[in-house]
């Protein structure tokens, strides 16, 4: 077995069909034993619940090769927990957390040749997904589901990697107050597609969504949480009044890294759009985005420019980025349980 012959440094954030995936099916009130398979195709009844009432939830995490040749992933227990929360909100059965982590291990080990080499800048993206396969016609939860994990090697989410991006304040809303914004379900992304296509056409990398109730507070972007650095060099993290921000595992880790490794103070609180001009740095954070610096926000033609500028990541975000990725890659000692060794 040897690594696949890919140009790892230029693969982009795209889907490659890899060799193996993990599949388990839920029927008669229980999950089957699950297995690794080679079949990337899914055959569904035309009446499958996922096609009509969007019963689908997913996760995203990454496996990395470390310098000493291990393959690790980052806090998969939190992905397992969040998937359980997401499933519960859509009346879907939980896939047990211990089986989730075991399945991640199995599918990554089976596709070990697809794990990008250490230092290539690429990683193996792991996509667990669960959806209703059972028949429904009236509006109700299905009684059969599939849980699947596939993997694909990926490069940076934003073109240019760590180059600052420009984002726009969206006129669309991502999540209703007390709706489903805090779970990772496809339905939260379907309605963001028109907004992101429009933003890209206008030359922006992402949308910043405001709270749907008052359109005053910053929530998050279509695919990442947001962090700011204030004038004193401390971290300010938007918090939602209405629980409509996805609880990002990267953001929760950054908060702990900022406090425990860098000695920063961290404020997690509602952040008004009109106070953002006082901040020095802004970043998008998530599994895919890691920490991507934002140079400017465009608010209906008015530019909010961060002191860190459009050339490189600001100094505080850079320290956070280096510390977080150092922990993930095994170069800096991780807090207990953060780095899960697969191989
Ligand atoms: C809407 C949204 N917010 C935030 C995040 C970041 O979450 P995490 O750090 O768990 O990947 C994601 C996914 O990456 C996302 O899709």
Kindly report, residue by residue over 178-207, the tens digit of the pLDDT: 999 999 999 999 999 999 999 999 999 999
In CATH, 165-326 is 3.20.10.10: yes
* Catalytic choice (4, 163, 168, 184): 184
Which ligand 1 atom lies nearest to the CA of residue 225?
Answer: 4
All CATH 3.20.10.10 domain ranges in the chain, comma separated: 165-326
For ligand 1, atom 15: residue with the closest CA: 223
- pTM for the full model? 0.97
User: Are 147 and 26 within 8 A, CB to CB?
Assistant: yes
For ligand 1, atom 3: residue with the closest CA: 224
For ligand 1, atom 4: residue with the closest CA: 224
Which one of 85, 187, 190, 250 would you pick to mutate in the ligand 1 pocket, going by the greatest count of ligand atoms within 8 A of its CB?
A: 250
Q: Could you read off the pLDDT of 40-80 as tens digits, one per residue?
A: 999 999 999 999 999 999 999 999 999 889 999 999 999 99
For residue 191, the CA-to-ligand 1 centroid distance in Å is 16
Which ligand 1 atom lies nearest to the CA of residue 79?
Answer: 10
Q: Could you read off the pLDDT of 5-40 as tens digits, one per residue?
A: 999 988 888 999 999 999 999 999 999 999 999 999
Q: Could you read off the pLDDT of 264-321 as tens digits, one per residue?
A: 999 999 999 999 999 999 999 999 999 999 999 999 999 999 999 999 999 999 999 9
DSSP 93-131: PPPPHHHHHHHHHHHHHHTGGGSPPTTSS-EEEEEEEEE
pLDDT tier at 112, thresholds 50, 70, 90:
very high
Alpha helices in 208-287 (DSSP H): 249-260
State mean pLDDT over 244-252: 98
For the question of residue 140 being annotated catalytic, the response is: no
Which ligand 1 atom lies nearest to the CA of residue 184?
Answer: 16
Which one of 13, 223, 324 would you pick to mutate in the ligand 1 pocket, going by the greatest count of ligand atoms within 8 A of its CB?
A: 223
All CATH 3.30.470.10 domain ranges in the chain, comma separated: 8-154
User: Are 326 and 180 within 8 A, CB to CB?
Assistant: no
Tell me the fold of 8-154.
D-amino Acid Aminotransferase; Chain A, domain 1 (3.30.470)
For residue 312, the CA-to-ligand 1 centroid distance in Å is 23
Instruction: Output DSSP code: residue 162.
Output: T
């Amino acid at each position: 077995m040897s690594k696949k012959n890919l140009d790892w440094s230029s693969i982009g954030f795209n889907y490659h069909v890899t060799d193996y995936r993990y599949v388990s099916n839920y029927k008669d009130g229980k999950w089957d034993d699950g297995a690794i398979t080679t079949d990337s195709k899914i055959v569904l009844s035309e009446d499958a619940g996922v096609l009509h009432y969007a019963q689908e939830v997913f996760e995203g995490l990454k496996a990395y090769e470390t310098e000493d040749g291990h393959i690790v992933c980052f806090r998969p227990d939190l992905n397992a927990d969040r998937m359980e929360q997401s499933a519960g909100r859509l009346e879907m059965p939980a896939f047990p957390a211990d089986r989730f982590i075991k399945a991640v291990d199995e599918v990554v080990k089976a596709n070990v040749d697809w794990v990008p080499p250490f230092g290539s800048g690429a990683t193996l993206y792991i996509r667990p997904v669960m959806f209703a396969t059972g028949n429904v016609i009236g509006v109700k939860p299905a009684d059969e589901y599939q849980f699947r994990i596939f993997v694909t090697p990926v490069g940076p989410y934003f073109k240019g990697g760590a180059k600052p991006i420009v984002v726009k304040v969206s006129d669309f809303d991502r999540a209703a107050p007390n709706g489903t914004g805090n779970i990772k379900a496809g339905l939260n992304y379907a309605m963001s597609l028109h907004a992101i296509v429009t933003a890209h056409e206008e030359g922006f990398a992402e949308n910043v969504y405001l709270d749907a109730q008052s359109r005053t507070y910053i929530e998050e972007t279509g695919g990442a949480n947001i962090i700011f650095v204030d004038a004193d060099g401390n971290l300010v993290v938007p918090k939602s009044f209405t629980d409509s921000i996805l609880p990002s595992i990267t953001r929760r880790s950054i908060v702990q890294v900022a406090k425990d490794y860098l000695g920063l103070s961290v404020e997690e609180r509602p952040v008004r759009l009109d106070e953002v001009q006082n901040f020095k740095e802004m970043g998008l954070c998530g599994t895919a985005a890691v920490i991507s610096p934002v140079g400017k926000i465009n608010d209906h033609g008015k530019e909010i420019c961060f002191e860190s500028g459009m050339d490189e990541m600001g100094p505080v975000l850079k320290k956070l980025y280096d510390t977080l990725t150092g922990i993930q890659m095994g170069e800096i000692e991780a807090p207990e349980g953060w780095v899960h060794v697969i191989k």
